[in-house]
Chain A
């Protein structure tokens, strides 16, 4: 495996690896870092203070425009906006839907991606490459288009209903249901997971698979005891990126989901725009971020663990 840490050569590398290059490296990394800190870090920080009721300073304008603003009541702020959100039955429904859609979609994506990757690794052949190529296709399609395409395909006068009507089956209209969000999420997330997982599964050496078979392991046993554990890191990376992406998604649930309950991505936008309740909107964003952070920790942990196992730390 290629590695970013394996940079100190066996007996030292080019002569100039002093502390000067360390400072230089840090300087080179500043532009994107400053951009992210400035346009992601600062807005999030300001947004966080606003969610706690700091309505002065940079938050002054938005506090005047917005409705149902709770100014701070203690020196540290107030949880009033948070309490608003948690007492809103709509939010609770949204949260449950968001978590459920995220969990179901992620599991489906990983299972499908793993199945295709394993088939490609263990069986191979033309069918396998057809499957792999097919599953990459969504990468080529902008998410706005895919959302709309799925919307029409499973819609009231879409292909699925037309086709089944012709053979006498009344296929349900999936568009504007939570099922459609899952379909859309799986559709758009599949390519990244396939690429990640198949690269991990391909990296498992033939010798390890063959020696396991030689010990009498069935194909299923080979998969569960050799291939999957060895490809664990890419699988976790794929899973965490997929979950984080779906949890914060907007376009897919907007086009495909029901009006009520809807996913938090859409609700954040509704609260911010349509309902003009920016404070509550931000509170929801932080709740989603908190959940996403939990998944991010899993991702980082998995990376660190694999780095340790490879003796890179």
Chain B
């Protein structure tokens, strides 16, 4: 006989609903504001619909500059991070050199110093090196936040390429470099892709450090948000938020399969 009331099923559906409300509620609520004229408490419907806020954002030169800055800085940061970190990731994943473990733990410790405290401490160095308010200064600040992703995740990916697959290629006549290019790198690609996406987001979303180091000369999209939420109506912030979220959604959509497939989780276990 079929049971029409199943308490565990009801509890399950209720928890799905609550999680959906908890997770999606805020972003949907903010997102909808990008298209409404006004929305007053306690109404459940907005006063009217409009696209005016979008033109407001696109016509505002400060906001446009912030968008441009973000779109220039983040790719540069990611490429620099790859150049600096991927060889180290290969070494950490594949070679048993002296200090390998210390290296991994040093990167981790650096990551566990409170970011805001680091940015306060870094000011002295930045003044000495004349990096305050410079493009390079912002790039370096954002670079620091990508290192842990760009070393750990690819290191695990490199480590998980079985040796015998490389040996089989050597046996088939491939030189060491060809083996690296056609087998090792190719097989570590999903991990590297996840690292690239996570690094891009870490850079693109970085706000505190870029604000401290870049303002008032260089604003990126997230740092612009700080002033935006104070000086503009919520609808403008909503439009800006949607714009800011587009790269994240696109990139993560691209790498979703690998991220959920465990590449990210794998990268955070020191072995």
| A touches B in complex, CB < 8 A | yes
**A→B interface (CB under 8 Å):** 1-9, 13-14, 17, 21-26, 28-33, 35-37, 39-44, 46-47, 50, 58-59, 61-62, 112, 119, 127, 130-132, 134-146, 148-154, 156-163, 165-166, 183, 187, 190, 192, 195-196, 198-200, 202, 233-234, 237, 241, 244, 247-248, 250-251, 255, 264-266, 268-269, 272-273, 278, 281-282, 284-286, 288-289, 292-293, 295-296, 299-300, 303, 306-307, 312
CA of A180 to CA of B120 in the docked complex: distance in angstroms? 26
Given contacts A145-B244, A145-B245, contact A157 B41 (CB under 8 A): yes
Contact present for B222 and A144 (CB under 8 Å): yes
> For residue B199, which residues in chain A have a CB less than 8 angstroms away from its CB?
none
Contact present for A237 and B156 (CB under 8 Å): no
Total number of residue pairs linking A and B with CB closer than 8 Å: 323
CA of A293 to CA of B105 in the docked complex: distance in angstroms? 12
Contact present for B269 and A237 (CB under 8 Å): yes
> For residue A39, which residues in chain B have a CB less than 8 angstroms away from its CB?
122, 125, 140, 144
Given contacts A22-B97, A143-B205, A187-B23, contact A200 B265 (CB under 8 A): yes
Contacting residues of chain B (105-151) with chain A, CB-CB under 8 angstroms: 105-118, 120-125, 127-128, 140, 143-144, 147, 150-151
Given contacts A146-B27, A289-B112, contact A303 B271 (CB under 8 A): yes
Contact present for B125 and A42 (CB under 8 Å): yes
Contact present for B123 and A296 (CB under 8 Å): no
Contact present for B114 and A3 (CB under 8 Å): no
Separation in Å of the A264 CB from the closest CB of chain B?
8
Q: Which among A36, A233, A251 is the interface contact of B147 at CB below 8 angstroms?
A: A36
Q: Which among A162, A288, A303 is the interface contact of B43 at CB below 8 angstroms?
A: A162
Q: Is B73 an interface residue (CB 8 A)?
A: no
Q: Which among B25, B84, B226, B269 is the interface contact of A233 at CB below 8 angstroms?
A: B269
> For residue A26, which residues in chain B have a CB less than 8 angstroms away from its CB?
91, 97-99
Q: Would you give the 0/1 interface string for B33-76, flagging 1 where the beta carbon is closer than 8 Å to chain A? A: 10000011111100000000000000000000000000000000
Separation in Å of the B133 CB from the closest CB of chain A?
15
Contact present for A29 and B122 (CB under 8 Å): no
CA of A301 to CA of B155 in the docked complex: distance in angstroms? 20
Separation in Å of the A239 CB from the closest CB of chain B?
12
Q: Which residue of A lies closest to B93 (CB)?
A: A4
Q: List 12 A-B contacts (CB under 8 A).
A: A22-B96, A22-B98, A23-B97, A25-B96, A28-B88, A28-B95, A29-B100, A29-B103, A32-B147, A158-B29, A187-B26, A266-B116
Contact present for A195 and B124 (CB under 8 Å): no
Size band of the B side of the interface?
Answer: 35 or more
> For residue A300, which residues in chain B have a CB less than 8 angstroms away from its CB?
105, 108, 270
Given contacts A35-B147, A43-B125, A241-B268, contact A134 B163 (CB under 8 A): no
CA of A130 to CA of B12 in the docked complex: distance in angstroms? 12
Contact present for B125 and A137 (CB under 8 Å): no
Q: Apart from A17-B96, A46-B121, what 17 extra A-B contacts exist at CB < 8 Å?
A: A7-B95, A13-B167, A29-B97, A29-B100, A32-B151, A43-B124, A62-B127, A127-B12, A134-B16, A134-B20, A143-B207, A152-B234, A158-B41, A202-B262, A272-B123, A278-B120, A288-B114
CA of A203 to CA of B271 in the docked complex: distance in angstroms? 17
Contact present for B245 and A31 (CB under 8 Å): no
Contact present for A265 and B244 (CB under 8 Å): no
Q: Which residue of B lies closest to A265 (CB)?
A: B116
> For residue A272, which residues in chain B have a CB less than 8 angstroms away from its CB?
120, 123
Q: Is B183 an interface residue (CB 8 A)?
A: no
CA of A152 to CA of B237 in the docked complex: distance in angstroms? 11
Separation in Å of the B218 CB from the closest CB of chain A?
16
> For residue A303, which residues in chain B have a CB less than 8 angstroms away from its CB?
269-271
Contact present for B103 and A33 (CB under 8 Å): yes
Contact present for A159 and B120 (CB under 8 Å): no
Contact present for A285 and B91 (CB under 8 Å): no
Q: Which among B20, B26, B42, B259 is the interface contact of A150 at CB below 8 angstroms?
A: B26
Q: Which residue of A lies closest to B271 (CB)?
A: A4
Contact present for B19 and A135 (CB under 8 Å): yes
CA of A24 to CA of B167 in the docked complex: distance in angstroms? 21
Q: Is B185 an interface residue (CB 8 A)?
A: no
> For residue B186, which residues in chain A have a CB less than 8 angstroms away from its CB?
none
CA of A110 to CA of B114 in the docked complex: distance in angstroms? 21
CA of A152 to CA of B266 in the docked complex: distance in angstroms? 36
Contact present for B245 and A21 (CB under 8 Å): no
> For residue B40, which residues in chain A have a CB less than 8 angstroms away from its CB?
157
CA of A17 to CA of B262 in the docked complex: distance in angstroms? 30
Q: Is B193 an interface residue (CB 8 A)?
A: no
Q: Which residue of B lies closest to A51 (CB)?
A: B121
Q: Which residue of A lies closest to B32 (CB)?
A: A159
Give the 4 A-B residue pairs with the shortest CB-CB distance, closest first.
A285-B117, A248-B114, A25-B97, A47-B121
CA of A62 to CA of B13 in the docked complex: distance in angstroms? 57
Separation in Å of the B63 CB from the closest CB of chain A?
14
Contact present for B33 and A152 (CB under 8 Å): yes
> For residue A23, which residues in chain B have a CB less than 8 angstroms away from its CB?
97
Contact present for A162 and B160 (CB under 8 Å): no
Contact present for A153 and B30 (CB under 8 Å): yes
Separation in Å of the B269 CB from the closest CB of chain A?
6
Contact present for B106 and A285 (CB under 8 Å): no
Contact present for B144 and A29 (CB under 8 Å): no
CA of A141 to CA of B118 in the docked complex: distance in angstroms? 24
Q: Is B77 an interface residue (CB 8 A)?
A: no
Separation in Å of the B117 CB from the closest CB of chain A?
2
Q: Which residue of A lies closest to B95 (CB)?
A: A25
